[in-house]
Structure 1
């Protein structure tokens, strides 16, 4: 299966970026944009949503 990957629109070229895919139902694969052939981590959708919510609310400080 080929996954469709994308980066945030906030991502700048050459930055420390991740890419995510929404090609797998119930799972959010995440990889380093600088190493697209490298490993990917896979998170349940609910865990990814909780992480994104925490980042947006500032739970991890200024990121």
Structure 2
């Protein structure tokens, strides 16, 4: 049986003390979770999906 990789969750340095989105990379997947609910199954994205999201953030596509 193969080893299980434990995600190394990272928070933004700008997040509040009680509410934050956390990101982890496991193999070729990027995982996203809410720090208030770490027991909930995280969302999972491919490298291409993650890079498209980051590119959109950097381009200002999510500003309201």
TM-score normalised by structure 2 residue count: 0.79
Runs of 4+ in 1 over 2 A off after TM superposition: none
* RMSD (CA atoms): 1.3
Paired residues in the alignment total 60
Structure number with larger C-alpha Rg: 2
- 2:9 corresponds in structure 1 to 5
Shift of 1:10: 1.6
SS in 2 for 1:31: strand
Q: Which runs of 5+ in 2 are unaligned?
A: none
Shift of 1:35: 0.5
Q: In the TM superposition, what are the counterparts of 1:1-63 in structure 2 within 5 Å? A: 1=4, 2-15=6-19, 17-22=20-25, 24-62=26-64
TM-score normalised by structure 1 residue count: 0.80
